[in-house]
Amino acid sequence: MTPLRQKLIDEIQLRGFSPHTQDSYVRSVAGLARFYHRPPDQIGDEDIKAYLLHLLRDQKLACSSLIVAVSALRFFYGQVLHRATAAIERALPRMKKPVCRPRVYSVQELERFFQCPQINRRHRALFMTMYAGGLRVSEACQLRVENLPSDRHQIRVVAGKGKKDRYTLLSPRLLEELRAYWRLYRPQHGWLFPSTLFPDRPLTREAVERAFTEAVARAGLPERGGPHCLRHSFATHLLEAGVDPLTLQRLLGHSRLATTTTYLHVRQERLAQVSSALDLIDFGRARRSDSSTP
């Protein structure tokens, strides 16, 4: 490992960023160095800008991925190399984040999904846990058996996003499913969902994403953005059931209520009660008026 890479990792760890963020930032800086075949501290502002345009135009990188790359390079040149702020702003302007509405499954679609006989019990228990507790993929992977105090009907999320602990829901139906899963698989080493290849380690994010893609296809459901849509569906369905946004904010572990309220746009029972403005027009009255005009 080069001293420059180690310095970047040290700065990331000192700020308490997650391992996922560390990997993303290191990959982004390494990608820039590989593109120009020289160390990143020898790359100028115009070259950095040209590299970002390459990612956007030639690599067709998604906007969200490009935002991560910009954030990583801003951090590297600002916090590691201490390049002047004005130079960083010129080469790496802050990108406007697109407003992406959460994509969700309906209750009927999830009924089909969870009852699909082609999905094995292990994966079904995992996906039901993510949906029932509104968990992120990384949070589900890191669950340990002691994080599920069944007498309190709660799931304890340890060091979730932002290294925050929280409690969310452990429904009786989920507890029944997890007990059946436990009797069948007997997971070891304390992990609720251990890796199949390395039982002493938790399941990886990549393994969950692959399993979810296969399960959605087997259930005959449309793709709606990967396993994270189970968390979106949890939030939307609870709002539809009348749970107030403040309670939902705590269950989801959001720092800001504004993040939670993004789910309000899909409350179907409210949308069903709203008429289109076009329906307010009485076309018959307009025709009657025209026919009576001499």
Q: Is the separation of the CB atoms in 127 and 227 below 8 Å?
A: yes
Q: Is the separation of the CB atoms in 196 and 208 below 8 Å?
A: no
Amino acid at 65: S
Task: Kindly report the backbone phi and psi dihedral angles of residue 215, in degrees, each rounded to the nearest multiple of 5, phi listed first.
Answer: -65, -40
Catalytic amino acids?
136, 161, 228, 231, 254, 263
Dihedral sign for Cα 82, 87, 91, 93, please.
positive
DSSP state of 202: B
Q: Is the separation of the CB atoms in 165 and 159 below 8 Å?
A: yes
Dihedral sign for Cα 160, 241, 105, 132, please.
positive
As a whole number of angstroms, the distance between CA 165 and CA 212 comes to 26
End-to-end CA distance of the chain: 90
CA atoms within 13 A on the CB side of 269: 7
**What is each CA distance from 47 to 38, 39, 52, 70, in whole angstroms?**
12, 13, 9, 14
H/E stretch holding 236 reads helix 228-240
As a whole number of angstroms, the distance between CA 62 and CA 70 comes to 12
